[in-house]
Structure formats: structure tokens, C-alpha cells
Structure 1
Amino acid sequence: MSGVSRRGFVALAGSGLVLGLPAAAGSTSPAGQGLNQPFLRIAPDGEITILIKHLEMGQGVSTGLATILAEELDADWHQVRSEPAPFNPALYKHTVFGMQTTGGSTSVANSWQQLREAGAVARAMLLQAAAQRWGVPVVELTAHRSRVMHGATGRQLGYGELAVSAARLPVPSGVPLKSGDAYTLIGRERARLGSADMARGAVTYGIDIQRPGMGVAVLRRSPRFGGRVRSVDDAAARALPGVRAVHRLPQGVAVVADDSWTAMQARGLLKIEWDDSQAETRSTPELKAEFKRMAASGEPGIDALVRGDAAQALAGAAKVLTADFELPYLAHQPMEPLAAVGEVRDGRCEIWGGFQSPSIDHRAVVRILGLPPEHVVLHPLPSGGSFGRRATFSADWISELAELLRAQAAAGDVRPVKLMWTREDDITGGYYRPMNLHRLRAGLDAQGRLLAVEQTIVAQSFSPSMLKPGAPTRPDPFVTEGHLAEAYDVPHARVRWVKPNVGVPVHTYRALGYNHTTFSKEVLMDELARAAGQDELAFRLAHLGGHPRHAAALRLAAERAGWGQALPAGRALGLAVQEAYKTVVAQVAQVRIEQAQVVVERVVCVVDCGIVINPGTLRAQMEGGIAWGLSAVLHNELTLDGGRVRQSNFHDAPVLRLNEMPVIEVHSVASDADPTGIGEPGSVPILAAVANAVARLTGKPVRSLPIRLDGSASR
């Protein structure tokens, strides 16, 4: 798209936000105190504010997206700041998902063209304003670091000096965009915007919000998923000094107090009898046995892929391998537990929080409170992590707050309230990465080439379309994406999804389906290579004829890791590759075993993600993703006992510790392709890379996570 998007522009009148009608070419952008567009404000003092439509949750998107616009604007980076865009789907919706949301590692890819055009339009308007002021042709002017210059006379004007007059000009169309060789910001490493504020704790998150007269609320939820309140005795809780109210909600019982400590203390005094007639009451071993039965019995499922005749090809294969892979439920465990502040007054509702899908959250509040949509105002804030937890399709945590606000209003209390989840609430409260079982049968021909594969995946779905009554009639792509036959050359393949009936709430989790399919298919590829008597790298490369990006990334990662070279005693390398969200990541892990514990010493990571916006952010996302994946490899697991989650906090649901972090080398593949996502792809190959290294050390395949070498098993 070479022209400029003509969808709605924004104007500021004083400090209030005024949404204008969509601007057509030739119209003027209303002028407040400077140049104002949907994604950009330039103040008369030269400060440049770039509005970020995607949630900043630690991934650095506020810096990456600002860089894209600032590049086309020719801005002085030292004058650039960013802030969350307001809730306004008409202006800030995801152009693919159709609503205001963040997810799928799409923020940069989705905003790339949009922000380039916004920056180019603003630059053109500033140049035109200078041309009119000086009475010279605009072609004689150049822009650089937030200044417009006239080479013939040496005159210069800062963007701030031109902002007001530029805002009065017609909005141009067809503004040309820069070529890659002209970039001065994109591709250069720079610190994140606001990093100093983060370092000194000055960033305001949902959990930090304070409002006059605000109360703090916590919920007591059923210890079993699907349980309901049968009766509650709240006398002791109400008697505690500082307790304002106790409300029975659809989701449980809420205690509102003057502060969080009092609310938590009072919650512990509630005497609740639970109705578990509709609750999930099975334990993890029972669920595992049920998943295995479903995989083995020919339970009705849905084919996600049928290529050739896998059953017949396997019957004639020279060698056949069969393997089951098991992965547990996992909690998201963001550092900032869920928290939001709400206030209902004079027929209006305002909510402050880190909304990952504000369109869904807004819709839920409107429905529960029965207010006109324009009377519900969301104030987006950055969040201290999410990994998918804040983006539930049910808007579960924001719905809880809305139900609480409704209960308060019914009781005549219009004071604001902060709803908080504790760490224990987070880990025991559901919406996990689904537990899943993969059963794979793969066959080799007489020449050691992959001939056929059958893959059955037993896993719950978190897709709204799959949760409706009745059996699904089509496969869930979030369950099967990343399967073995997706990238590797195999003439006969069948991939099948079997949906179990389990009452544990599940939802999107970093890298969605790839976080389990990558593990099973990359571990099996190692096992197949050994069965064929071939090197694991060479075997993969021989089956990647249709995917040269995968092959190139693998070769580079193996070369940088020293694949095939002698290693110190007691060490082994394991490798894996995956494409997720159009980004290819290959990783090689160097591992040793010490006192029956897996120690990951070094990881080499190669990324092919198109144009790299900021090498520092790329490196940070790969390092963070690897740490995330290592938590799943070494520690993470949620188990049920009679339907109750056994784990509750970091002491028994640990994440990777600093002393466990390996040395990580990150390399990117040079590319001039449009940028793709980096928030999630780096977290998945490490699962299999470590497992494959451990298998080389022990001589035993690793087919379940977390890896346990001491013989212990899930409870």
C-alpha cells in the first residue's frame, strides 16, 4: 500500500481528547496545541508523543512501535516518548483481529505499515508548513532529527515551531515511504523508552492505581473448578475492623476493605459451603489415564491434516516409532498479578488496568452494568506481564470487577474499588496452558527417509468457537499448529485432534499451540534420526526441502554452537527449530547433568524475523523466551488432587532462578522482509533442544515435561 491510510484522525482541545470524523485527503486536521494524529502528537515545545495501540506488558512494544513511526517522521529520538493509546476500536483496532487487542506476536507486523504512513504524513505536513512560512518550494527542504532545513539559505525550524501551522494544513495522500537503506533508527540498538522510570519504580500499573476513598477487594473462589457457593457465613469477616462489605458474586464471595491486608485477612474468616455437583473432581493421574485412553482407543476426533495414506504407508515402513508425549497444565504467573480499579458514578463507569483485549473487556462491563457503551471508559495502563492471561475471551477478571461494582451500586456504595488477585489466586484460579498428550507414529523407508506420520493430539480447546455446546466439527488450529508434518517433508501424514471433556479452565498461553507441538515433533525427529543412523542435524536438513528459512537458521545455529565438534566431558548438544507467527527460530542447547539435575550451560539462538527494529529488544525477547521455556523444562507443572490445584505460589510452582540462567547468544538472519513477531517464538524450541541434549547424555528419550531424572512423577 503506497498511499496513506485515511482512517480517523485525532485532535486535542486543551487537555481533553476529541475524536474527529475520518479525515479525507485534502481536509484539514483540527489543530489543538500542535500537530495531532491518531498515533502522534507534536507539542509546540517539540515533545513527540507516540500513542501505542498494543499493550506494553514488558515485551518492549512501546519502544518498537515508536521507532517505526519516528523513523518515517525523521524524529530526534531524545524528544520521543510513548503512552498507551486510549480505548477507541474505531482508531486502534487490530487490523486483522478486528478489535482492540494484543496477541499472537503480531503487534509490530500489524502496525508496521500503519505507523510508517502516520510518520510519513506528519513529516510531509511539517515540510509543507516550513515551505509556506519561508515561501520556498517544498522540494528544497529536508528533515532530520526533528528539524526542517533549507540548504540554500541555512534556515532551520524545529518540529515544535511548525506543529501548530502544520496542523492547519490538508492531510496529504500518497506520501512516499523510506527505503531500508535510509533508516537511521530502525535496526539500531537503543534503550527502551521509559526505562529510567521502570528502574526507579515510577511506572504506574493497574495494581498501583489509587483513587480517593478507594476500597480493596479480594475474592474467595471455589477450590474446585465449576464449584458454586451453597452457603456463606460472613459474620466474622464483617466484624473485622476495616471491612466495608461482603458481596456474593457469580464467581465467588468478595470482601471489600480499606486495604489489601485487611481484605485478605477477612477473606480467610469466611465460612463457605461449596456445591461441587458440577465441579471437576478428578486428579492428575486420572486425567492422564483418560487422555491416553482417548489417544489409543480411536476416540472420535477431527482431522487437521490428511496427506496421502499414512496408515497404509506405516504398514509398509522399514522402521516404525511410536511415542507418547505429555505436557502438564501451566499457570501464566506474570509478575504483576491481575488487578484493576473501577468506579461507577452518575451513570458512568471508569476502569483502570492493563487490558490485553480492551474490546472484550469493555463489552463485558457494558453487558454486566447495563450502561451505554459510551458511558464505560477504559484507561489502558502497561502491565507487569501477561503471557496471554489478561486476554481471556470471557474477560473473567474484568467481569469480576464489573459484578463487584454492580453489587456495590445496589448497596448504595459508589466509592471506587480495586479488585486484586494474589499470587495464590493466580496459580489456583484457572485459565491455564492446557494439559495435553501427543501420540505419534512415524515410519522410515529403507533409505532412512521419513515416509509417514500419524499424530493424535488430546487437548482442551480455549477457542470460543470450540466451546459452544456440541462436538466441534472442525479442528482447532491453536491445538494443532506447529505439528510435525507442517514443515518437514513427509509424503503421508494424518494429524488428528481429540477433545477431552475436562472442567479445568484453559486459555491462550505464550506461543499457543507451538508451546507443545514443537516439543513433541522436535524430540521425535531426534529419535527418528537415531533410528535411521543419521546425524540429527543432517536428518532435519534432508527433510526441510520446502522450508529454506528453517534450514538456514538451523545451519547457522549449529555452526555457531560448534555442532559436530568435541565437547568437554559430560556435555551434550541438542537442537530444535520452529516457525511461529512467521518467525523462524533455531536453538542449540549445551547441557550437563549434575547430581541428577539438568544444567543448561549455553544456548545459541538464531532468529529470522524480517527487518529487526531494535537488536536490543530482539535479544531481550529471545533471552526472556528461553528463560520462560527453561522454566517449563526444569520446573513448571500444575497438578490436581481431587480437582484441587496442589501448587499455590513460587515455593511449589517455581520459575527459573538467576543462577540457572545459561549463557545465551542471539544471532539474527539479515533480511529486508517486513518484520514479524518475536514475543513468543523464542520460547518454544528450547523445550526440545534441552530434552534432546539430555537424551544424548542419558541414552533415554525425554517425552514428558518437566524433566525429572530422579524417577519422581506427577502427583
Structure 2
Amino acid sequence: MNTKTLSRGDVAPTSVSRRGFLASAAAASFVLGFTIPPRMNAAAQGATAEVNAWVVIHPDDSIQIRIARAEMGQGSLTGLAQLVAEELECDWSKVGFDLVSPHENLKRGKVWRDMSTGGSRAIRGSQEYVRTAGAAARSMLVQAAAQGWGVKPEECTVVKGIITHGASKRSTTYGAVAAAANKITPPAQVQLKDPKTWTIAGQPLKRLDTRDKLNGSLVYGMDIRMPGMLVAIPKACPVHGGKLKSFDAAAVSKMRGVKHVLRVDDETVAVVADTFWRAKTALDALPVVWDEGDSAKVSSETIAAKLREGLSAETNFVGNKTGDAKVVLAKAIRIIEADYSFPYQNHAPMEVMSATIRWTPERCEMWGPTQVAEAALEAVAAASGLPIESCMVHPMRIGGSFGRRLFTDYVRMAVLIAKQIPDVPVKMMWTREEDMVQGRFHPVTQCRMRAALDPAGNVEALHMRISGQSIMAYMRPSVMTANGDPFAFQGLMPGGAEMAIGYTFPNLLIDHAMYNPHVRPGAWRGVNLNQNAVYLECFVDELAHATGQDPLVFRRKLMANHPKHLAVLEAAATGIGWDSKPAAGVYRGLAQVMGFGSYVAAAAEVSVTKGRLRIHRIVAATDPGHVVNPQQIEAQIAGSFVYGLSAMLYGECTVKDGRIEQENFDSYNVMRLDEMPEVKVITVPSGGFWGGVGEPTIAVAAPAVLNAVFAATGKRVRNLPLKNIDLGTS
């Protein structure tokens, strides 16, 4: 079991009390006429006792567990609450939640630690300290009860929030001793439970946030209403990096409902009106002149041509190297070579970018969805011109994000607009078209795969050259190294990395020729693992067929030194019935990868009739180390397949005259319900580590299906999306 040292700051309140803080926040919200969601408001309304920063227990024994990570549909809110509740030994039926604000975290010395949510880290990145907080709270509650009875804490037991002293047959509840527990000095160390003994964590419990969604009480960021609120609709130069040259405000300023026509920054203009539709109508009519610059000459074709140059260019950016693959390839008797490509993808969340801001010379507040609450607070402060202590961010629930709200560009824009309209709440919303055009796109890449085979069909050397855009060169230049962008090699790293390659080749070279077009890249759900898995897993499948070997048997030989990778692959293969004959006209494909700390694999069954693909079934196997909520894992994997298969089937953003062409869902399609295959999820947690769930399995969906498509048609699909490929007979 794990032992964790606690400091007082981990669990005790500072001079800013929870009740005082919420009271002031509620007062400010009342002035604005903003309704706090019920679960958040409960803590402000009733008498409560904070046991520590993570646990608040009401006199009626109801419990609020504070959640510092963003909930955007992935279920981490419930999973984190389960981990705290498990160590707390409380009654799960009495558990609710409260969302932490970054300004409160700052005031309390970052007691809730990291609030960012991305990279499938919500649970795995905080599981130890949230479990520790739950265990510490339990210890303090028991000690408070024991002191009241004049007995030793170790003589007491807890079952579902009821503390019992067996010898005297006395019992009490958490709610009765919570206030006293807050005065207890936190324990220096706590013993965390062995996951094998879990009764709350590890169980398929229902989500805590489902009711609010079903009854309509859940307020998303773009749903906010406030008295006197105005709505701002911005429009930036459609060519990334272009400038706003001029606009004719007088042409629309007298239209119904229009209050302001504003220059936001060097790239953006905005119309502010009393309703969304009136602002949008005026913006559509606004004469605007853009300075698009040289990037207006860029197209998908010119980008592709530059990427092709990178496939054979010299580069010093090496991600994984063993032996000397180039020398072996130069002398090889037989070489298999193939070029692949992966297009731009849009995050396309259902909830467009939005934020509501109220700016005064003394204070700036934001209500809105974000994956990086602390970064959003910093963005508010920077754009508002106020010290960070004078700024507040109220994180709202997120209607989809997939990595888009890791950026704070929309937060900055909202503040710059509201700053020009002091003391008025302004809700900035992007139109769907603006959201699509001004995205931060999954990067475009190409890849050349070359393998040297010996006469027995063994791989002597493999060279994988990736040519394409670097996310980190744009998003976080500080992480760039002498070997370029380390994130470009996700799923291809040496053993020991959380995104390690699952094969052993005697001579291996994986490198990256970086080319960065003007289109802004971003961390799209699963990031670079997606295309890297397609490139590697489809090419390994090519090698198996080129040598006349069964794809599973071929992989087993390469995976002898990678037992965890192999275990999930075997589980998926067994689940699909790989060694049995499929139904007539049905064909199978496999794929595996490691990403975000987890080992994942998929096996797919497809048929292709008259060029029409039908995906019948996918079996997914995952080893995330530990399972916090199996029901949520199943939901996340099925959902990730929707995302990954949509990209494989339809996802493609093209560039013409420097701008993204796909402006709405009529041109950027997603898979429909009748296209969704049956999904079976197999979890094989091996323990000893914590992996992610929300992103890894996206990567294996496409290559498993593409390998099955080859088995069905004899056609190797190397360029996505499939909508551009004729799968009919030659």
C-alpha cells in the first residue's frame, strides 16, 4: 500500500474561509442575476463544515467532494469523487460535488494543486493526492469522535460515514463531528487502501452529473443569462495570421439591437447586440477588409508538396534509434516501402467557444468553460490589465472540448471586448462557422515507412520518417528540444516511456522532418498518437502480408519483449475470435499501441459490399493499470471510437486561399448512429501504474478497421479519410 506525507496546507483552511468566499461570490452573482447551479449553491446556502480542502460535510450527513479538474463529458468528476469517497469511507448515496475555482485555489496557496485537464490526466495525475485527502479526512473525523468520547481513535470503526466505538456501543455520524474534525491537526501520514479492497472506487457507479443533464438544470457556459447582458459575436481574419485592415461600423450600427461595433485586436472585429441573432445578423452585413498576407497563397496542395519534400530531407530530429537502420536498409536484399498521410482535423465540439465577462476598473470576472482554469485566470488578468488577485474565473461545465479549450484565445478575446463596455456583463460567443475556421487543428502529416526483410521474412531494420507540423512549436515552444518536438513521437518512444513502441526491431530509426504551415495546430483528442498508430500498425500489417504471415502471429514475434502490449492485443484477438472463421463476407483487422500511460488494442470486423464499408464489431482491450469506474471506461472507449472512426471515415479540413474550407457540419461530417459498430470492451488492469482512458483507444480504431478493409478488398488505404477512397473492385 502507498504511504503519503501530509502537510497542514494540504487539508486545512487559510485565512480565507470557504463560507466567506462563497458568500462574497454568491453576493456578486446575485447582483448580476446569475443563477449558480444547484449543487454548487448548496454549499453557500446551508451550514457546512469543511473537514479539509476536498471534503465538506453538512449536518444532515450529505457530503460535497470538491473537484478541481474539468468535467467535459469524460466522467472524471465521478471518478475523482469515487477515489475520495473510497478513502473517506462514506455513504456514496449522500455524495455530491462542488467545482473548484482557480482564484480560490490561488488564494489558498494552490491547495487543490494542478487544475488543468488534458492528456487523459484528470484521474491518473491526481489520484494519489485526492485519495490521500479522503484518507486524511476520515482520520480527522474518527479522531474528533474519539476525543468526544474520551477513547482512542484506533478503537473506532467506520462504515458508510457512521463512526462506532464497539466497546461502549456508541456511534455517531460524520455530519455530527465534521465541525470538530476541522480543528484536528491533519495526520502526518495516512495509509491508502489496496485497490483490491475497494468498494466504491472500482465499481460501475452512476455518474453524479447525470441528473442535472436530464432535468435541464445544468448550465453550460454558453447558456448563461444575466440581467442587462449583451452578446458579442467576433470575426477574425479567416487566414490565420492575417490582419484586420478596416471595417465600416456605420453600415450596421443602426440595425436593430446593435449596441457596439468594436475593433478587438489587430485580427478581429466584433458586433455587440442585445441578442445573439441580432449581433450575428449585423456582423454578417458588416463590410470588412482583411489584409490576408502571403498565407492567402497557401493551399492543401502546396502544404502536401512541402510535406513530400520532408519525407526524404535531412533531419536531426530523432525520436527513437537502435542500431543503424539506414546502413542496413542500404544493403538490404528486400525492402518494403509505403507512404501514408493524415489530414487536418477539427475539434468541432458541440458547444462553441464562449465566455461571459464583466469588467470594471477594479475587478474582472469570467464565467465559462475551460480545460485550464488557472491559465484562463492568467489570461483574464493579462487582457484585463488588472492584477490576478482582482480577477475571478468561475469554471462552467463543458459541452465537449477534445483539447480545444486547452487554449485561452477565446478568453482573451472576450475580455478585450468586455473591457470596452465597462460594468456590463458581455457574453462572447463564436458562430459555428467562426469556431470551425478559427480552430486549433490536429496537424497535417505524411509518413514514409521503409523496412528491410531477410529471406525468412524477419524485419532487419525499420525507418519511419514523419514529415509534418509540430503542435508544440506553436502551443508550447518551451518544450522543444534538440530533437525537435518530443510529442511528435507519441506511441513510438523507447521502452519505459508512457507512449512506448510495442515492438522490438534490431535496427530502428524514427525521425521527424518538421514543417509548420500557417494553419494553427492544436492538441486534438489523442494528439499525435492517432496518426502514428495508423502509420505503424498499418505498415506492420503490410509486412505481415508481404511475408505471408498471419498478422497476429507476425506481431507476436516482434512483441516478445513487450508483454503488456502483447497482453491487450491477445485479449482483443481472443475477444473477436481471431482463430475462428468469421461469417461469410466478414473480415478482420488488428491494431495495438501504448498511449497516455495505458496499453490498448482493438480487433475489428468489417464487410465491403459494392464499395460500401460496414463496420460490424470492434473489440477493445485496455490495461490502464487500475480501473476506477468500469462503466465509465466502457463509455469512454465507445465514445473514443466515434471520434476516431469519424476522422477515419470523413474527417478532413482542407485549405484554399489560405483559409480552412470546412465551415460547418455540412462539409465536416461525423459518423451517424447507423454506422456505429457494436463495441465490446475488455479491461485487463495489471496494477502498479495509472494510465489514461479518454484518449488512447482513439488511436487503434482506425488502423484496426483499415487492416480489416485490406483483408476484405486487397486494397491498402494509406491516405485518409476513407470518403475519398474507392473501395469497389478494381
TM-score by length of 1: 0.93
Corresponding residue number in structure 2 for 1:144: 159
Instruction: State the Cα deviation string for residues 349-384 of structure 1 (Å, max 9, x = none).
Output: 000111111222222222222211100111111211
Tell me: CA distance 1:648–1:259, structure 2 relative to 1, closer, same or farther (3 Å).
Answer: same
8 Å contact kept, 1:44–1:164: no
**Matched residue, 2:4:** 3
Shift in CA distance, 35/468, structure 1 to aligned 2, threshold 3 Å: closer
Q: Deviations over 1:24-69 (max 9, x none)?
A: xxxxxxxx84133222211222121111111101000100000000
* Distance across 2 between alignment mates of 1:302 and 1:131: 62
What is the CA RMSD across the aligned residues, in angstroms? 2.3
Task: Report the more deviating stretch, 65-74 or 145-154.
Answer: 145-154
CA distance in 2 between partners of 1:385 and 1:10 (Å)? 34
Amino acid across the alignment from 1:5:
L
Amino acid at match of 1:453: L
User: What is the match of residue 399 of structure 1?
Assistant: 412
Indicate how the Cα distance of structure 1 residues 375 and 467 shifts in structure 2: closer, same or farther if over 3 A, else same. closer
Which piece of structure 1 moves more, 71-80 or 83-92?
Answer: 83-92
Gap runs ≥5 in structure 2: 25-46, 495-500
| 1:349 and 1:376 in contact (8 A); partners too | yes
| Correspondent of 1:365 among 376, 380, 386 | 380
Residues 446-497 of structure 1: CA deviation (Å, up to 9, x unaligned): 222221111111121121578769x973321221221387321111122221
CA distance in 2, matches of 1:182, 1:590: 37
Aligned length: 692
1:14 to 2, 10, 19: 19
Q: Is the 8 A contact 1:281 1:644 kept in 2?
A: no
Partner SS state of residue 297, structure 2: coil
Query: Residue 157 of structure 1 corresponds to which residue in structure 2?
Result: 172
Contact 2:357–2:366 (8 Å) recurs in 1: yes
What's the counterpart of residue 704 of structure 2?
689
1:35 aligns with 2:50: yes
The match for 1:434 among 443, 452, 466 is 443
Q: Is the 8 A contact 2:161 2:173 kept in 1?
A: yes
Pairing 1:480–2:480 present: no
In structure 2, relative to structure 1, the CA distance for the partners of 1:130 and 1:506 (3 Å cut) is same
Write out aligned runs for 1:237-636 (5 A): 237-250=252-265, 251-296=267-312, 298-392=313-407, 395-408=408-421, 413-464=422-473, 473-483=482-492, 486-636=501-651
Residue identity opposite 1:265 in structure 2: T
Q: Deviations 1:506-548 (Å, cap 9, x if unpaired)?
A: 1111111101100100000000111121110111111112210
Report what 1:25 is aligned to. Answer: none
Note the residue ranges of structure 1 that are not aligned, 5 or more in a row.
Answer: 20-31
Per the alignment, do residues 654 and 320 of structure 1 end up closer, same or farther by CA in structure 2, a change over 3 Å counting? Answer: same
| Cα distance in structure 2, aligned partners of 1:527 and 1:37 | 56
- CA 1:595–1:154 in 2, change beyond 3 Å: closer, same or farther? farther
1:543-593 per-position Cα deviation (integer Å, ceiling 9, x unaligned): 112210111111111011011321122211111001101101110011112
The match for 1:119 is: 134
Measure the CA separation in 2 of the matches of 1:383 and 1:182: 33
- Amino acid across the alignment from 1:478: F
Separation in 1, partners of 2:459, 2:608: 31
> What amino acid maps onto 2:426 in structure 1?
V
**1:414 positional shift:** 2.2
The answer to which of 80-89 and 9-18 deviates more is 9-18
What is the CA–CA distance in structure 2 between the aligned matches of 1:325 and 1:13, rounded to whole Å? 55
Residues 426/591 of structure 1: CA separation in 2 closer, same or farther (3 Å cut): same
CA apart distance, 1:344: 0.9
Q: Is the 8 A contact 1:280 1:502 kept in 2?
A: no
Contact preservation (8 Å) 2:625, 2:689: yes
Question: Which deviates more, 327-336 or 457-466?
Answer: 457-466
For 2:559, what is the secondary structure of its paired residue?
coil
Identity fraction in percent:
36
In the TM superposition, what whole-angstrom CA distance separates every residue of 1:142-197 from its partner, at most 9, and x where no partner exists? 11111111223332211111111111222122122222332111111111002111
Q: CA shift at 1:261, angstroms?
A: 0.7
Distance between the aligned counterparts of 2:444 and 2:624, measured in 1?
Answer: 29
Supply the AA of the counterpart residue of 1:2. T
Shift of 1:405: 2.2
For 2:143 and 2:198, the matched residues in 1 are separated by: 22
What residue in structure 1 maps to residue 34 of structure 2?
none
Q: Is the 8 A contact 2:441 2:524 kept in 1?
A: yes
Q: Distance in 2 between matches of 1:373 and 1:682?
A: 39
The answer (yes or no) to whether the contact 1:62–1:83 under 8 Å persists in 2 is no
Q: 82, 99, 104: which one pairs with 2:119?
A: 104
Q: Does structure 1 retain, via aligned residues, the 8 Å contact 2:359–2:415?
A: no
| Distance of aligned partners of 1:283 and 1:94 in 2 relative to their CA distance in 1, 3 Å threshold | farther
CA contact (8 A) 2:598 2:692 kept: yes
**TM norm structure 2:** 0.91
Aligned to 2:182: 167
Whole-angstrom distance in 2 between the partners of 1:610 and 1:118: 21
Task: Describe the SS at the equivalent of 1:407.
Answer: coil
Say whether the 8 Å CA contact 1:438–1:455 is kept in structure 2.
Answer: yes
Q: Distance in 2 between matches of 1:33 and 1:83?
A: 13
